[in-house]
Amino acid sequence: MVLSFATGCNRDDARKSILKVYNWADYIDEELIGEFEEWYKQETGEDVTVVYQLFDINEIMLAKIERGKEDFDLACPSEYIIERMMRNDLLLPINKDFGSTPNYLDNISPYIKQVFDKIDCNGKNPHDYAVGYMWGTTGFLYNKKYVTEEEVSSWSALWNPKFENKLFVKDAFRDVYSPLLIYHNYDAIQRGEVNIDSLMYDSSDESIAKVEALLKKTKKNVAGWEADFGKEMMTKEKALLNLTWSGDAVWAIEEAADVDVELDYTVPKEGSIVWFDGWVIPKYAKNTKAAAYFINFMCKPENAIRNMDYIGYVSVIGAPEVLEYMSESAIEAGQEEAYDLSYFFGEEADSVVINPVMYPDRSVIERCAMMHDSGPRTEALLEMWARVKGDNLNNWMVILILVCFGVLTVVGIMRKLKQREMRIRSRRW
C-alpha cells in the first residue's frame, strides 16, 4: 500500500510538469510550442512539457472530454461546443492572474468579446471560461477564370446547373445548415419580420425540412463532402466552387497563386455565419496554471501574427501591431481597396487597406450571425445531414461500396474455412 501511494504521488508530481493541449490539425505555428516551454520557465521558474494532440471534428473532442477518460488541460472547440460544454459543467474557470507576467488577454478585439457575450450558458459569464483564438466567416471559394462574382453572390449558386459535379461542400452540418436557413428566411429578414440572431436558434422540423430540400437540389453538383481536402482540390482546379471557411480560402488563394490559378472568396448577399474557436480548460484538467499561461502566451500580438502567417486563419487579437502588420502585408501584395474595420480594431480603422477575405468589411459582418448549440435537436440535424449525403451517392459509388462489401465477405468466409481446416488438423494430430 505504501509503495502504491508513493508511486501515485510521483505520478501526480510528474503530471504537474506536463501540459496536455488538444487542438485542430494545422492550427498553430508549431515552433511556438517549444518557445512557450522556455517562456513559462522564465516567467514562473517551473518546467513544463507540452503534449500536443490533434482532433479534426468538434464532436470527437467533446466525446473524449465528456467520458472523463482524458485529462486534457486545454482544448480549442468552436463556439457552439463551448456553449454546450458550459451548459453541461464540463469547463473550469480560467485564472487570469498571472502575477508579474503581463496580461495579454486585453489584446483581444472588443468585437470578439461582444460575440462571446452571445454565448448562451445559463447565466454563466463566458469570459470566465473561454478565451478566443481564431475566427472567420463561411462563404464561397471560387475559380475566377470560370466563375464571376455575380454567379456566387447568392447561396442559390449551390444548385446552379453550371456547377454540376464541380462543387465541394464542407462536411460540417451546422456550417451549411445555418447559412441556408438564412437564405430561406432572407425576405423575412429584409422586411424586419425575422431577426438573424434569433434565427440561429431555429432547428425546428419545419426549418430542417426546408434546408434539406435546398440541399437535395444541390446534390447533382456535389463532387465531394470535404473536411479538409477541398482547399487543395480547388488549387488543382478539380472543382469550380467550394462552400468553405474563410481561413481555408486564404490558404487556397495563396497556394493557387503559385501555380497561376486565380481563386477568390465571397460571402453571399443573404448573409452567413461568423464562427470562432476558443481556448477552454476542461473539467478533468490537471495543470490549470500552465493552461492559463499558454492562453496568455498565444494572445501576445507577435505570436498572433506568427500563427496567422503559418495557418492562414485570423486571430482574435485586435492590437495595433496586428493591424499595422496585416495592412502592410496587404499593400505589399498589391491590395488597394480600403475597408471599414472599425468594428474590430477601433474607430481609427474605418478605412484600412487589408485582405477582405481575412477581415471582412463592416457591411459583411452586419449580415452575419453566430451559431448556437442545438441541444437535443442536434440528432435531428444529424439525421437530415445523413439523408442528404446518402442521397448523393451516385451509381458508381454504390457499385464500389457493394464490391468492397463483397470482397470483405469473401475474405471473411475464406478466413473461417482456413480456421476450420486448422481445427480439424489439430484434432487429427
Q: How many CA atoms lie within 13 A of 224 on its CB side?
A: 14
What pLDDT does residue 391 have? 55
Q: Is 141 strand, coil or helix? A: strand
| C-beta of residue 267 within 8 angstroms of C-beta of residue 258 | no
347 inside domain: no
> Residues 256, 289: one domain?
no
Q: What is the pLDDT of residue 12?
A: 66
Q: Are residues 172 and 287 in the same domain?
A: no
Provide the pLDDT for residue 283.
96
Give a yes or no: residue 260 inside a domain.
Answer: yes
pLDDT of the residue at 405 = 39
Q: Which CATH number does the domain housing residue 271 bear? A: 3.40.190.10
Residue that the C-alpha cell 461500396 belongs to: 401
User: How far apart are the C-alpha atoms of 105 and 252, rounded to whole Å?
Assistant: 30
Q: Judge whether 169 and 218 are in contact, CB under 8 Å.
A: yes
- Pair 186, 219 in one domain: yes
The alpha carbon dihedral of 360, 361, 364, 369 has a sign of positive
pLDDT tens, per residue, the chain with 429 residues: 544 444 444 556 788 899 999 999 999 999 999 999 999 999 999 999 999 999 988 989 999 999 988 899 999 999 999 999 999 999 999 999 999 999 999 999 999 999 999 998 888 999 999 999 999 999 999 999 999 999 999 999 999 999 999 999 999 999 999 999 999 999 999 999 999 999 999 999 999 999 999 999 999 999 999 988 999 999 999 999 999 999 999 999 999 999 999 999 999 999 999 999 999 999 999 999 999 999 999 999 999 999 999 999 999 999 999 999 999 999 999 999 999 999 999 999 999 999 999 999 999 999 999 999 999 999 999 999 999 999 544 433 434 334 443 444 444 445 444 444 444 333 333
- Do residues 257 and 285 share a domain? no
Structural domain contains residue 93: yes
On whether residue 328 sits in a domain, the answer given is: no
Strands of 192-240, DSSP E: 222-226
Identify the pLDDT of residue 395: 39
DSSP string of 242-306, one letter each residue: EEEEHHHHHHHHHHHHTTT--EEEE--TT-EEEEEEEEBEETT-S-HHHHHHHHHHHTSHHHHHH
**Displacement of CA 112 from its chain's centroid (Å):** 16
Read off the pLDDT of residues 370-420 as tens digits, 9 standing for 90 and up: 999 999 999 999 999 999 999 544 433 434 334 443 444 444 445 444 444
pLDDT tens-place string over residues 328-357: 999 999 999 999 999 999 999 999 999 999
Q: Residue holding cell 436557413?
A: 181
Supply the pTM of this predicted model: 0.86
Residue 255 and residue 110 share a domain: no
CA distance 12 to 19: 13
Q: With CA atoms as reference, report the closest residue to 210 among 182, 190, 235, 244.
A: 182
Q: Which residues pair with 169 in a beta bridge?
A: 225, 243
- Alpha-carbon gap, residue 339 to 241, rounded angstroms: 25
Do 266 and 160 fall within a single domain?
yes
Give the contacts of 133 (CB within 8 A, at least 6 positions apart). Answer: 76, 276, 277, 278, 279, 298, 315, 316
Q: Are 296 and 151 within one domain?
A: no
In 10 A of CB 29, how many CB atoms? Answer: 15
Could you tell me if 271 and 284 lie in one domain? Answer: no
Measured at the alpha carbon of residue 341, what is the angle toward residues 306 and 248, in degrees to the nearest 5?
45
Examine the domain organization and report whether 170 and 210 are in the same domain: yes
What's the pLDDT score for residue 10?
54
Domain count, the chain: 3
In a domain, 9, yes or no: no
Residue 247 lies in a domain: yes
Task: Provide the pLDDT for residue 416.
Answer: 45
pLDDT in tens, 13-31: 788 899 999 999 999 999 9
In what helix (H) or strand (E) does residue 27 lie, and over which residues does it extend?
none
Note whether residue 386 is domain-resident.
yes
Count other Cβ atoms within 10 Å, centred on residue 68: 11
- Give the C-alpha separation, 196 to 20, whole Å: 38
Q: Are residues 257 and 377 in the same domain?
A: yes
Q: Which domain holds residue 20?
A: 14-134+277-317
Predicted pLDDT of residue 104? 98
Q: How many CB atoms lie under 10 A from the CB of residue 397?
A: 10
Do 376 and 228 fall into the same domain?
yes
Is 143 contained in some domain? yes
SS3 133: strand
154 and 141 belong to one structural domain: yes
